[in-house]
């Protein structure tokens, strides 16, 4: 089978990542020494991101929810009702990168703020993929959670992106633990009657 070459998707109107001369390829490892105290080592500083035209945001303040929804749609995520998305953001730890005020990379986590967190909605504008921006938002999100003492950080990943998360020290089924999800099945009246016990 021949290898498939992935071409960047055409950039939608209004989305402008920094010019290729300013991108300098993948993000470089930091020049500073390794992180201490169990914190996450960032592969690129906020200043380096800024020099490439990306501003680091650590709250949902100023986040254009409609623009984020557009990024969701371009990467194949379902669009969200904007009011519900705003409520989710209000209850989440958020890290996002903006370029000219528009979101180009985003990640959020929700949890109890002490023991557990679940990472959701990690996206990068397709025209900006391959620059290390997903890694940049994930490193910062994990760093903030770890700094708060959250030790159990989990996420759901499609098979095609598992390798990306492994590079960030996520593991599948650590210690044989299996993730489970509750899915409420829609039932028809006839199937629920058939499943009901004959007597109680």
Catalytic residues: 165
Residue 131, CA distances (Å) to 43, 180, 184 in order: 12, 33, 39
Single out the residue of 120, 167, 181, 124 nearest to residue 145, CA to CA.
Answer: 120
Single out the residue of 8, 9, 49 nearest to residue 27, CA to CA.
Answer: 49
Q: Where are the alpha helices (DSSP H) in 98-188?
A: 133-147, 162-166
Alpha-carbon dihedral of residues 33, 155, 47, 60, nearest 10 degrees? -140
């Amino acid at each position: 089978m021949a290898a498939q070459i992935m071409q960047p998707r055409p950039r939608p109107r209004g989305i402008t990542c920094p010019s290729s001369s300013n991108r300098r390829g993948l993000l470089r490892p930091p020049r500073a020494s390794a992180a201490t105290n169990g914190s996450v080592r960032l592969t690129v500083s906020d200043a380096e991101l800024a020099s490439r035209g990306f501003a680091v945001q650590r709250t949902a303040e100023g986040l254009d929810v409609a623009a984020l929804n557009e990024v969701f749609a371009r990467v194949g995520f379902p669009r969200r009702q904007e009011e519900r998305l705003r409520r989710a953001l209000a209850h989440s730890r958020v890290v996002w990168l903006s370029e000219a005020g528009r979101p180009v990379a985003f990640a959020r986590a929700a949890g109890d703020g002490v023991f557990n967190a679940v990472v959701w909605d990690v996206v990068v504008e397709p025209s900006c993929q391959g620059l290390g921006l997903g890694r940049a938002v994930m490193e910062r999100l994990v760093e903030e959670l770890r700094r708060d003492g959250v030790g159990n950080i989990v996420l759901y990943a499609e098979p095609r992106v598992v390798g990306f998360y492994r590079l960030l020290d996520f593991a599948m089924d650590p210690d044989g633990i299996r993730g489970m999800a509750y899915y409420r099945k829609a039932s028809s009246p006839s199937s629920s009657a058939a499943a009901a016990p004959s007597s109680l």
